[in-house]
A and B are shown apart, each in its own frame.
Chain A
Amino acid sequence: KAGVTQTPRYLIKTRGQQVTLSCSPISGHRSVSWYQQTPGQGLQFLFEYFSETQRNKGNFPGRFSGRQFSNSRSEMNVSTLELGDSALYLCASSLDAGFKLEAFFGQGTRLTVV
């Protein structure tokens, strides 16, 4: 079956703009989580959605938001982009909430803010 799909793969935006990233989880998976990866910081947890509800949130400013649709697809939005938002954004899906089972990651969206 198809894996986790993230679009777009690469994105270049200007400071102050906003951006929306998309994630389609593995079919049947209801939990979607988002991570930010920057050099030297590992993967920082952004938020987790399960059945269209945000279940968990990391320590990121309110400029970072997300949502999940009834088909489990998720979008992440970053408003008023800053240079420091340049990163690889990874989406992970799992069957249930809370990562009791392994999470499957997409290839990520590489966002560059100039």
Chain B
Amino acid sequence: DQQVKQNSPSLSVQEGRISILNCDYTNSMFDYFLWYKKYPAEGPTFLISISSIKDKNEDGRFTVFLNKSAKHLSLHIVPSQPGDSAVYFCVGGGGATNKLIFGTGTLLAVQP
């Protein structure tokens, strides 16, 4: 049972444009959501989070939007930079089990 789904395995955007990474979830008990970024040969690093009671959280070029009724969240990166090229994991956390549940990841490629 994939509780967190990232249906796009990859995304390619031009430098300076907006990157939108999408994520759907099935577990309505998540207390919060996180996005992690992972470069090859490195562990994932925390990027941004959002509480389930919020609908938006912004941090510099990164904004996460949460639509609870649709069980959908998205990460917007504006403007995209080549250094943003990495795998992005959508993560649900908290709830009854209090575990971090990772999606399968989306590989973002930002073309110069």
Contact = CB atoms under 8 A, between A and B. Distances in A.
Nearest to B43: A105
B41 A107 contact: yes
A56 B105 contact: no
A68 interface: no
Interface string B43-58: 1111001000000000
Interface stretch (A14-22, A38-46, A70-78): A38-46
B100 A99 contact: yes
A44 B42 CA distance: 17
B94 interface: yes
A44 B34 CA distance: 16
Interface residues of B, number: 23
A99 B93 contact: yes
Contacts of B101: 45
A4 B45 CA distance: 11
- Which 10 A-B residue pairs are closest in the complex by CB-CB distance? A105-B43, A43-B102, A42-B104, A102-B46, A98-B98, A42-B102, A105-B44, A45-B99, A107-B43, A106-B43
Contacts of A43: 44, 89, 102
Contacts of B102: 35, 42-45
Interface of A: 4, 33, 35, 40-45, 48, 55-56, 58, 90, 92, 97-100, 102-108
B69 interface: no
Nearest to A3: B43
Interface centre among A43, A58, A105 (most CB of B within 10 A): A43
B100 A33 contact: yes
Contacts of B98: 55-56, 97-99
Contact of A98 (B43, B45, B94, B105): B94
Given A56-B97, A99-B93, A99-B98, A108 B43 contact: yes
A90 to B, nearest CB: 6
25 contacts: A4-B43, A40-B104, A41-B104, A42-B4, A43-B89, A43-B102, A44-B102, A45-B99, A45-B100, A45-B102, A48-B99, A56-B98, A90-B43, A99-B99, A99-B100, A102-B34, A102-B49, A103-B100, A104-B45, A104-B46, A105-B36, A105-B43, A107-B41, A107-B42, A108-B43
